[in-house]
Structure 1
């Protein structure tokens, strides 16, 4: 199955992956920093930059704010209370418009994760190419229904979810007549241990749902997302920052420009190198056969009329004569001329 994520990109399993630089809230509420991140993502070769669309009211209840006066779900220290951070980091409506227009001038797709119906409406109004559904909302059935009704492609992360929950989410979207679904294998730990990533779930999800499957990565570095390409991941979503030491929630586990450029460039190489399952010999390889393969040659000189014995034969380069696998057709033949040692045999050497 194929899904058109944007006018310029169609994704399917084992395609050249669509690379999303997940800026999220790494702009830290600073539009100049956000634009610098967009510029860098474009230079790295990303297809899209993604933000997060939430407000202090749409994401977190008062009870959670009251309980989390400090935010400690990360090894990096943060300023102030959870409420203060949410207030600083959320994107205002006009900032969405500003960033969307900036992305347009840079030729990169602008997308975002909505967290309420109102934010879905905002993103649809901005004509984003698709809606990214965060892992936390895979069991938010009313929200999935609302997003599905837009008929925008839905890219759904599967972190924290069971296979049954994924199936319910997919069926919920399809029930609204929207079949444009991409699932992202995801582990919602920042960062996860290598043993807990289970990249083979990509293969499992491909088989279970017959949908394009990508990978939303929270690991350090470039190796794990690149490995996902070898399993056919059609999307790589990777948190992105200019500096891992910046204050904020996700900078430390994000790819820096060097790592992101590696992901963008090497993922294309891996996708191209995977090729297909059919055994083929390229034209270039065919041309090498005459140089690199062996021919049947004489182990000793022979006179005209001598009968070839197996002990008379050796096998050496170049591969321009009779190939070694046809030696049985040579044994017992009579030579029609005098032949020197190391002569490359061909069929006109015999009577």
Structure 2
């Protein structure tokens, strides 16, 4: 286990020695309805997640309304749509933010956001956001990272598409600018991501390379990859959330519904708890069953003074007799007294050689 100090977000410690920090990403699945966004916070809080995350941008702060091919998406879930059109639909309006933060506080759950420009950072700072999330596509925007980091809060940085040098630059920039710690999330920036591309073994490799907590921003279907990531050392799990996939929404296809997210939270915590530590001693919970291990028992009546034959003893359950490893030593010895079928074998039942 790493001896690195934990990073705290709103008083919640995050690191290898603590249960995974599970983030419920609302993204644009509010479908442009503030009432739905508030209902999503209620439903997300009820799953038992540790935090809820939103995204803070407008279509004009993240892109431009330009009719050029490079401003249009080709292939995948959003094929044919312009960036401006997509972000216009998915944006969480700035004037919603106070109500969303207030609802999260009322539900007792941490809320923070991904800022996509300096105006977004300023808004989130005014709302006392306890952390900032840098999205994968912005991981190379070092000025944005530095601007967010100057507020002294922890930064969570997704690393999808970033190479090792870019990841190191993002982390170093955040720390140099005063971030209250950095958490790196392994991420595959395809929507949805396939299991074949998940490459979860990157998580322990990142943990060995970077002196900070490592997690997973997961876009694969279901919960299997996220739970497996915990077993590989992920300290943070981020997963998209929706009230119902059938309601649609920009990210609905790769989002979890409330009952699914609740299962993710439970399974991630159980996976972490089950890791424990390497040990080979008898556990207290095993002690009552130790008596049912195999041992040597008398299998046929043997008269005192008779030589014990192989057929006179057996290695069976329960475990109150001599250990099975002594069977060859017992066979050929002389019975010190009458032995009755069903007795556990002990050394005092044998004559000294």
Pair in the same fold by TM > 0.5: yes
Aligned residue number for residue 22 of structure 1: 25
Aligned in 2, Cα 1:303/1:17: closer, same or farther, shift over 3 Å? same
Match of 2:212 in 1: 211
- Paired residues of 1:15 and 1:232 also in contact (CA < 8 A): no
Deviates more, 1:317-326 or 1:101-110: 317-326
Partner Cα separation in structure 2 for residue 156 and residue 314 of structure 1? 62
Greater displacement, 277-286 / 142-151: 277-286
Match of 2:40 among 37, 40, 55: 37
Change (3 A) 1:146 1:226: same
- 5 Å-filtered alignment, 1:27-66, equals 27-63=30-66
Q: Deviations over 1:117-150 (max 9, x none)?
A: 2211221221222110000111111111112221
Q: Could you tell me which residue of structure 1 aligns to residue 173 of structure 2?
A: 172
Match of 1:75 in 2: 77
> Is the CA contact 1:5–1:130 (under 8 Å) kept in the aligned structure 2?
no
Q: Map 1:249-268 onto structure 2 (within 5 A).
A: 249-268=250-269
Q: 1:73 to 1:239 in 2, by over 3 A?
A: farther
Q: CA deviation at 1:172?
A: 1.5
1:347–1:142 Cα change, 3 Å: same
How far apart, CA to CA, are the structure 1 residues paired with 2:311 and 2:143? Answer: 82
**Aligned-partner Cα distance in 1 for 2:216–2:145:** 20
Q: 1:4 deviation in Å?
A: 3.1
Partner of 1:349: 349
Superposed CA offset, 1:264-312 (max 9, x none): 111111111111123332112122111x212212243222233445554
> What is the rounded CA distance, in whole Å, between the counterparts of 1:329 and 1:283 in structure 2?
31
Partner of 2:119: 118
- The answer for the alignment partner of 2:336 in structure 1 is 336
**Structure 1 stretches of 5 or more lacking a match?**
none
* TM-score, normalised relative to structure 2: 0.90
Q: Is residue 318 of structure 1 aligned with residue 318 of structure 2?
A: yes
Identify the residue that residue 298 of structure 1 maps to in structure 2.
298
CA distance in 2, matches of 1:10, 1:272: 16
Contact 1:304/1:335 (CA < 8 Å) preserved in 2?
A: yes
Per the alignment, do residues 115 and 309 of structure 1 end up closer, same or farther by CA in structure 2, a change over 3 Å counting?
same
Task: Show the counterpart of 2:186.
Answer: 185
Q: How does 1:221-260 map to 2 (within 5 A)?
A: 221-260=222-261
**Higher mean Cα deviation, 94-103 or 276-285?**
276-285
Q: CA deviation at 1:98?
A: 0.6
Could you tell me whether the CA contact under 8 Å between 2:190 and 2:219 is conserved in 1? yes
The one-character-per-residue Cα deviations of 1:182-232 (angstroms, maximum 9, x if unpaired) are: 110000000122211111111111111132111101111122212211111
For 1:89 and 1:332, locate their aligned partners in 2 and report how far apart those are by CA, in whole Å.
Answer: 83
1:249, distance to aligned residue in structure 2 (A):
1.5
Match of 2:163 in 1: 162
Contact 1:14 1:233 in 2 (8 A): no
CA–CA separation in structure 2 for the residues paired with 1:274 and 1:306: 52
- Distance in 1, matches of 2:212 and 2:242, equals 30
User: Contact 2:9–2:154 (CA<8 Å) still a contact in 1?
Assistant: no
2-side partners of 1:69 and 1:149: how far apart? 31
Distance 2:127 2:261 in 1: 26
Q: How many residues get paired?
A: 348
Contact in 1 for aligned 2:300/2:311 (Cα 8 Å): no
> What TM-score results when the alignment is normalised by the length of structure 1?
0.90
Secondary structure of the equivalent of 1:24? coil
Asked if the contact 1:298–1:313 (Cα under 8 Å) also holds between the matched residues in 2, the reply is yes
Give the CA RMSD over aligned residues: 2.4
